[in-house]
Amino acid sequence: MASKVQNTVKRLLHELQSYEHDPSEALLHLGPVHDEELLHWTAVMKGVKGTAYEGGLWKLDILIPDNYPLAPPTITFVTPICHPNVHFKTGEICLDLLKTSWSPAYTVASTLNSVQQLLTSAEPDSPLNIDIAQLFRQGDQIGAEALIRFYTDTERWEGQ
């Protein structure tokens, strides 16, 4: 057990160092919540330019299992986001990469890049947010984007 955690910590320290040398365009921040707790990270993700999410910032909570990278991290949105594949209240993300498509080749940063890319490719047929998914399914792009922009307004969430 101890060597498994040591391998995980070694991997995470390497990932953190790599991220500091080559930060992701998708993120404003990525790192451990506390220096002494390497299995609990936080991130601030940027909205994708040219989408209804542009200008938005979302805080994410990242719990890393002892057997990482053999198992994926658990990533949830702390800041509410309006997206068909994200549960509005719990922040749970429906993304194959975080479940069945996980590979040890992914890093925390590359996984968060995939989460950001999910903002550009909603899957309304497997929704966690039925309301916004229904707008997409009905082809109401204007209504969907208006709702997304309403919840992307960063002033709504200041102080969280």
Q: Which of 78, 94, 113, 137 is catalytic?
A: 94
Under 8 Å between Cβ of 70 and 104: yes
User: How far, in Å, CA of 65 to CA of 87, rounded?
Assistant: 22
Asked about 94 being catalytic, the answer comes back as yes
Under 8 Å between Cβ of 77 and 98: no
User: How far, in Å, CA of 60 to CA of 111, rounded?
Assistant: 12
**Looking at the annotation, which residues are catalytic?**
94
